[in-house]
Structure 1
Amino acid sequence: MKVEFAPLNIPLRRRLQTAAVLQWVFSFLALAQCCLALFVLLCLSDWWILGAFYAGWLYLDRDTPTCGGRRSQWVRKCSVWKHFRDYFPIMLVKTVDLDPACNYLFGFHPHGVLVAGAFGNFCTEACGFSDLFPGLTPHLLMLPFWFRVPFFREYIMSGGLVSSEKASLSYLLSRPGGGAVAVVAVGGAPESLEARPGALTLQLLQRKGFIKMALKHGAWLVPVFSFGENELFDQMENPVGSTLRRVQDRMQRIMGVALPLFHARGVFQYSFGLLPYRKPISTVVGRPIRVDLNLSPTKADVDSLHGRYIQGLMEVFEENKEKYGISKEKHLTFI
């Protein structure tokens, strides 16, 4: 394989963008393991008393990830995220105003490999969420496992990440006075195994839990499509039924997280590595779907709202696809 090296005269701003994305990829792939190792070393060292105090804090603070988290505006507004945004670049697109008196459940599609669009738009202020949607506070839901990792949990909560447990979603959607936005990557880990350039397949037909939660709390549904999300990485071929896919599916069932074997570019060369490609991401927030409070929704109620949600998502995609480089002949596929 011929290696294409990066030129030496790259502007400083592009180097800063690459550095910002590099630390983000590291955070996704290795920071949790480093934090866990640090905690173990702390407990085994002469500073074990600090580890004991922190373990006590973990116990006392155990409910915070399911009660709205603990965000830090300093972290969310840190300048590193502007460089992160400009690397791709990422853009947040509003189609209509959202009433801050309501609570919302944003369904984010597609999941992609590392949900870069969801992170950049809803876990930082680099794309101006608070300016576009005044009075709303976004929370991106993440697997509960990560909130049990010492130190790492504090970092991810500072950006607005919260646990994806039902209790956490209920807490957000029942917020008095409204203004809460729960962002759910509906396709979850299985959908990341389909993420590759050109992919338009969404795991949605059997995903109805978020619909039921919206009904039980009267939270309005908002379909969100992130154009360019699947263009960031290549992935090893893993068709359904292949040995690799069977292994990945089994690991996902055991661990709760998917292990897509992805690759893209490196830091000093463009031929291989784990950095995403510089491809634009345009995250379009669609029109809200009114949801009336229904404490005991029937299967028919859930199916009806689920159908309306799919229709709303298709409208977001069809109305915007040609603006963002997708030909009019291509359509979404739901499985």
Structure 2
Amino acid sequence: METSSSLLHSGLQVFAVLQWVFSFLGLAQVCLMALLLVVLGQAWILVVLYLAWLYTDRDTPRSGGRRSAWFRNWAVWRHFRDYFPITLVKTAELDPSRNYLFGFHPHGVLAVGAFANFCTEATGFSSLFPGLRPHLLMLPCWFQIPFFRDYIMTCGLVSSDKASAAHLLSRPGGGQVAVLAVGGPLEALEAKPGALSLRIRNQKGFIKLALEHGASLVPVFSFGENDLFQQFPNPPGSWVRRAQEALQPLLRVALPLFYGRGGLLLPFRAPVRTVVGAAIPVQRCPRPSRAQVDELHAVYVERLTQLFEEHKACYGVPADQHLVLI
């Protein structure tokens, strides 16, 4: 029988996860509605002032953002971590005098592991990797939404456009980490329990970026990321998948039809173990050739596959299961 203390902890964990899910599925719409209500309430002068400030601040999401150590250390993120639970695993030392491009795999439905490990301190990123400052790259469209863009920047989210990543990777003195979910929005459509499909064969823009700035590449595999939600059947070629793929370029986001516990949006309680691999040194080449990009891409895929194979037995993946690269 559960004690009142365990019930309280369980309740706090559920609350922490639900508020996060709401933040990324509903808060943007609430922010837009709030802006409209302020205008209709004849407080339009406040809106004008905010929009004027927003114009002067328009480049911040592409210039390292505006993170808050206080926000990243909120107690609510520890309850968020414990719900699943989520663990960050370090496999090698990373030199804080260098800049890094972390390739996060798989994307999952909502990139839960990426947020917990790189946008909060709940799993101890700064303790494991002292001197490094992580920034999770997010689609630029989210930074166009008033108020919402200010909220998401507090945890270290920045725009995923090339200028934003280039700003981080070119910073003198090192210590900057750009974290990119390499598979992008379309990989979210593959995110189902047990799935090991990664969209990476034609994903080479991040490789070129690393070469242009001499940023070390680090493969990251998040075991359990795809086990947090189930999706409505959408096999390749089905009308559901065709509709999702057709809408993605228009909306800039994927539309996975997913559900969790009880058919709702609460994720399943499944452990997430995010394993950070060793760095792949990259020699700076301002104008890399296609051959150089292909060569480094092949090395990256090999290291990512090796990272997965070396750790899969520890995290419940059967020996006969391997990554499916698409």
| Interval containing the TM-score (normalised by the shorter chain) | over 0.9
Match status 1:318 vs 2:309: yes
- The alignment covers a number of residue pairs equal to 325
2:127 is matched by which residue type in structure 1? D
Cα drift, residue 10 of structure 1: 6.0
Q: Residue in 1 aligned with 2:98?
A: 102
Cα drift, residue 8 of structure 1: 9.9
Alignment of 1:107-146 (within 5 A): 107-146=103-142
Q: Residue in 2 aligned with 1:258?
A: 254
TM-score of the aligned structures, taking structure 2 as reference length? 0.98
Cα distance in 2 for residues equivalent to 1:95 and 1:213: 24
Cα drift, residue 150 of structure 1: 0.6
Cα drift, residue 43 of structure 1: 2.0
1:11 aligned counterpart, secondary structure: helix
The answer (yes or no) to whether the contact 1:93–1:283 under 8 Å persists in 2 is: yes
Q: Deviations over 1:219-267 (max 9, x none)?
A: 00000000000000000110111111111011101111000000111xx
Q: Residue in 2 aligned with 1:73?
A: 69
Alignment of 1:19-58 (within 5 A): 19-58=15-54
Gaps of 5+ in 1: 1-5, 266-270
1:222 aligned counterpart, secondary structure: strand
1:146 is matched by which residue type in structure 2? W
Cα distance in 2 for residues equivalent to 1:181 and 1:9: 38
Match status 1:231 vs 2:227: yes
The answer (yes or no) to whether the contact 1:43–1:52 under 8 Å persists in 2 is: no
2:164 aligned counterpart, secondary structure: helix
Q: Residue in 2 aligned with 1:249?
A: 245
For the structure 1 residues 9 and 69, does the alpha-carbon distance in structure 2 shift closer, same or farther, using more than 3 Å as the test?
closer
Alignment of 1:302-313 (within 5 A): 302-313=293-304
Match status 1:162 vs 2:136: no
Match status 1:195 vs 2:191: yes
The answer (yes or no) to whether the contact 1:141–1:182 under 8 Å persists in 2 is: yes
Match status 1:64 vs 2:55: no
Q: Residue in 2 aligned with 1:3?
A: none
Q: Residue in 2 aligned with 1:293?
A: 284
Cα distance in 1 for residues equivalent to 2:67 and 2:200: 30
Cα drift, residue 118 of structure 1: 0.1
1:23 aligned counterpart, secondary structure: helix
The answer (yes or no) to whether the contact 1:236–1:261 under 8 Å persists in 2 is: yes
TM-score of the aligned structures, taking structure 1 as reference length? 0.95
Q: Deviations over 1:71-125 (max 9, x none)?
A: 0111000000000000000000000110000000000000000000000000000
Match of 1:185 among 181, 184, 194: 181
Match of 1:284 among 263, 271, 275: 275
2:234 is matched by which residue type in structure 1? N
Cα distance in 1 for residues equivalent to 2:294 and 2:42: 58
Match status 1:333 vs 2:296: no
Q: Residue in 2 aligned with 1:204?
A: 200
Cα drift, residue 296 of structure 1: 1.0
Q: Deviations over 1:129-153 (max 9, x none)?
A: 0000000000000000000101000
More deviation in 36-45 or 297-306?
36-45
Q: Residue in 1 aligned with 2:265?
A: 274
Cα distance in 1 for residues equivalent to 2:47 and 2:281: 48
Cα drift, residue 44 of structure 1: 2.3
Match status 1:16 vs 2:12: yes
Cα distance in 2 for residues equivalent to 1:15 and 1:259: 29
Q: Residue in 2 aligned with 1:268?
A: none
Cα distance in 2 for residues equivalent to 1:175 and 1:278: 39
Match status 1:84 vs 2:75: no
